Structure 1
């Protein structure tokens, strides 16, 4: 698994497309929930998590998503925004989403073969 992180509009997807020959991208904002287990790469992974939370699947995300992903699609490339910087959201749901996304990405980074942070189009390999 590879994880590509960074702020919004920093060139994460362009980096992933340039360095990985991915033919089947999924968009986390709109793809079917199960597509994460069959796609080669997913952009907007943070929005995928938001959708699952909005559907009341927090327990599934916390307990089952990562083990299932590691088993069924261990070579996936996940591209996600870093949400933990800036002003803390006033909305309780947004705070919960931000916290959960950070925790999930932290756990994914532990299992990832490679973690790259992209800032201003410049990749920095963290792992």
Structure 2
């Protein structure tokens, strides 16, 4: 598994496509339910989580179980996700819960990823794994 993370509008998807030119990409905002388990690469992963929290009303345990299932069933998937945990804490209860669960899920995925890259201004820096040559 590979993860590519970074803030909004930082060039994550362009970077991901350059690094992984031969995979089919799925938009997490449009992905429905278990279809994510058939994806080679997912961008807007945070939007997938948001929709699943809304549709399925995931608890923290269900969110962690999902992350564990994804790591086991999709060891070669590439996930592109926006870092949403920085900045002000939202007033809205759903937004706080969404941010919390997204962070928990991404923490599990990053721990189980072979490589994690952070993209800022279109420049990717490997923060875990990768080629050390």
Q: TM-score, normalised on structure 1?
A: 0.93
Q: Deviation per CA, 1:33-58: give whole Å up to 9, x if none.
A: 22211111000000000001001341
Give 1:56's aligned residue: 56
2: distance between equivalents of 1:97 and 1:106?
14
Q: Deviation per CA, 1:2-44: give whole Å up to 9, x if none.
A: 0000001100000100001343211111112222111110000
Decide whether the 8 Å contact of 1:22 with 1:41 is kept in 2. no
Q: TM-score, normalised on structure 2?
A: 0.89
Query: CA 1:75/1:57 → structure 2, altered by over 3 Å: closer, same or farther?
Result: farther
2: distance between equivalents of 1:102 and 1:67?
14
Query: CA 1:17/1:79 → structure 2, altered by over 3 Å: closer, same or farther?
Result: same
2: distance between equivalents of 1:119 and 1:63?
27
1: distance between equivalents of 2:103 and 2:6?
12
In the TM superposition, structure 1's runs of 4+ consecutive aligned residues that sit over 4 Å from their partners are none
Of residues 56-65 and 74-83 in structure 1, the stretch that sits farther from structure 2 once superposed is 56-65
2: distance between equivalents of 1:44 and 1:3?
12
Q: CA deviation at 1:70?
A: 2.0
Decide whether the 8 Å contact of 2:64 with 2:108 is kept in 1. no
Matched, 1:38 2:38: yes
Of residues 69-78 and 7-16 in structure 1, the stretch that sits farther from structure 2 once superposed is 69-78
Give 1:10's aligned residue: 10
**Secondary structure of the residue that 2:56 maps to in structure 1?**
coil
Give unmatched runs, 5+ long, in structure 1: none
Give unmatched runs, 5+ long, in structure 2: 129-133
Q: Deviation per CA, 1:63-114: give whole Å up to 9, x if none.
A: 4212221222110000000001111111000000001111111111100000
Decide whether the 8 Å contact of 2:64 with 2:105 is kept in 1. no
